[in-house]
Chains A and B, each alone.
Chain A
Amino acid sequence: MKSYANPVFEYRRSPDQREGAPARHPVVVVGAGPVGLCTAIDLAANGTPVVVLDDDQTVSVGSRAVCYAKRTLEILDRLGCGQPVVDRGISWSRGRVFLLEREVFGFDLLPETGHARPAFVNLQQYHFEEVLVARAAQLPLLDLRWRNRVTALEPGADGVDLTVQTPDGPYRLRADWLVAADGARSPVRHLMGLESRGQVFHDRFLIADVLMKLDHPTERWFWFDPPFHPGQSVLLHRQADNVWRVDFQLGWDADPEEEKKPERVLPRLRAMLGDREFELEWVSVYTFQCRRMDRFRHGRVLFAGDSAHQVSPFGARGANSGIQDADALAWRLAAVVAGHAGEAALDAWAHEREAAADENILNSTRSTDFITPKSATARAFRDATLALAAHHPFARRLVNSGRLSVPATVDASPANTPEDEGFGAPAMRPGAPSTDAPLATPAGAPAWWLSRIGGRFDLLLFDDGLPPERSAAAIDALAAALRAERAPAWALHLVLPPDPRRAAAIAEHLSAPAGAPVSMLLDPDRLLGQRCDARPGTTYLLRPDQHVCARWRSARPDAIAAAMRRALGAGPEPVAHAAAPALVSQA
């Protein structure tokens, strides 16, 4: 490749490789891809030591996953490495769909303003992983071991015994918890004799990464049956470094080895790009499957990302959903390790992410069925839809060139507390990741809402409009009640109208006890208020992964404490007494 050379990360001998009893670690992650690294960074950044084992010594070979969704960027922001991904990548939110030579319609994935991050950033997976590796290197609690391959494992009731092969020979490790983020062919899954099952699609696609200067808007372009590739579809994405991803549908009969040869690839590209100068960077021919494991938790082993579930690439739901797995897992694992949560929290995680995988597989399968119709009749309906879409808006909504990744709202999660009656703002219902909105500090500094929360429980209180001494007393009472909980860290955010005098008046009456983080934010455009359907006193409880787990019309300290315990996987009893967890997943 002209535009990129893979770094080589050195193998280092670990003290764990000394003779003697195997070293014991609270969490071991297998796989230093996007999902494994996000899990490990989240754990280490928030105080839980973690070992990461990877059988290779570099980042992704080839650009592979290139589209990172807004939610992924928000998760990376929380992990302290969103900005370099946005800086290196290409931000976009618009797409166009073509039939033959004609544009059928365009779409905008983020039509409203007031969000810190764009709908998508395109970036080669190797760049993305480099950012994560650099972030991991900043964390003293994160021990990343290259050329460490798991060759055997023995799951037990209170941990997993691992045999790890290295250039210095094998050694043994004991993990209290093992996260298998080791990809679609997951060696851990195979070692445990487990399966991921589903549907194989009978089609082949050619990815050609092309280096060229092209004056083209930063948009996703998708063609059905274009003149330069008749009868098939083509997808074009811009990546960093003037690299363009062209994805040609080839059909099931294509010979994957032949199609990778430059003498086959170059004519296809010339037909599309004309006389423009370009260089071929990377070529890959792939088929795909939509499949998942029946259960993502097997005792002390947790499967996240491609090891647990796979989708077609149309919709960018692979890496993005895997990173959501990590987002939903790390805080729970940390709470279990710290003794703040029982194992039911991990069953709740599996329950959430199995449901999310089903949603992603459903969307991905529908896109694939549209792009690759399975019968002559299905093809006739597809073509009829496209023909109508050129003339009639109603048919454009049926055209499915990929339903692009949005985070799952985990409605049925055992971590959710049922909400009060009559709430609007369905996008902020329990189970949804929080919306963003532009806020300001009382001093007037701009502050994105999502940049203020995460890594702990966050309580969002909208101004109750009472006299300042009464508002302050209610906040003090809440803080006192939460301090009495044996729970992980939390913070309280009071969101006020854009009037610094109100903030000052309340602050004057707050007793602000030690260890009670209370901050005030102004909602200058009242966007957060609108997006939360806020009334005076409306209260939201957000999990450490920024998901809403409860909301009320007025804050009651006991209800908030109970919702926090529930999010941690306990029943209504305090965690310390939860001998028999009441909320075991039925998955």
Chain B
Amino acid sequence: MSARLNLEPALARPDDFYEALIAAHRDLTDAQSLALNCRLVLVLANHVGDLDVLLEALRVAREADAAPG
């Protein structure tokens, strides 16, 4: 059995992470921000490693946009 995607709260300091994420994009053009996000996705995907978890993450991320509310 492979691991499952963890959707429970796991960030110990969520506000610190969020601030760092926004700060990483400061002063970047939209194109530079897109490039940064792409690199970030790839780095994190490699850290996760498990394809099933990644496929689940892709599904969750894509469905959140279509969800009502």
Contacts and interface: CB of A to CB of B under 8 A. Distances in A.
A61 interface: no
Given A383-B38, A388-B42, 6 more contacts: A381-B38, A381-B42, A384-B38, A394-B46, A395-B46, A398-B42
Interface in B20-49: 31, 34-35, 38-39, 41-43, 46
13 contacts: A377-B34, A380-B34, A381-B41, A381-B42, A383-B35, A384-B39, A384-B41, A385-B42, A388-B39, A388-B43, A392-B43, A394-B46, A395-B42
A23 interface: no
A387 interface: yes
Contacts of B42: 381, 384-385, 388, 395, 398
B6 to A, nearest CB: 21
Contacts of B39: 384, 387-388
A582 B35 CA distance: 56
Contacts of A398: 42
Nearest to A383: B35
How many interface residues does chain B have, given as a range? under 10
Contact of A380 (B35, B43, B46): B35
Interface of A: 377, 380-381, 383-385, 387-388, 392, 394-395, 398
A385 B43 CA distance: 9
Contacts of B43: 388, 392
B34 to A, nearest CB: 5
Nearest to A394: B46
A395 to B, nearest CB: 6
B38 to A, nearest CB: 3
A500 B55 CA distance: 56
A285 B63 CA distance: 42
Ranked nearest first, the 10 interchain pairs of A and B with the lowest CB-CB distance are: A384-B38, A394-B46, A384-B39, A381-B38, A380-B38, A380-B34, A388-B39, A380-B35, A384-B35, A384-B42
Contacts of B34: 377, 380
A481 to B, nearest CB: 44
A388 B40 CA distance: 10
Contacts of A387: 35, 39
A394 B34 CA distance: 20
A383 B43 CA distance: 14
A380 B32 CA distance: 10
A388 B46 CA distance: 12
B58 to A, nearest CB: 13
A384 B46 CA distance: 13
A384 B35 CA distance: 6
Contacts of A388: 39, 42-43
Nearest to A377: B34
A394 B39 CA distance: 12
Contacts of A384: 35, 38-39, 41-42
A384 B32 CA distance: 11
A387 B41 CA distance: 13
Nearest to B39: A384
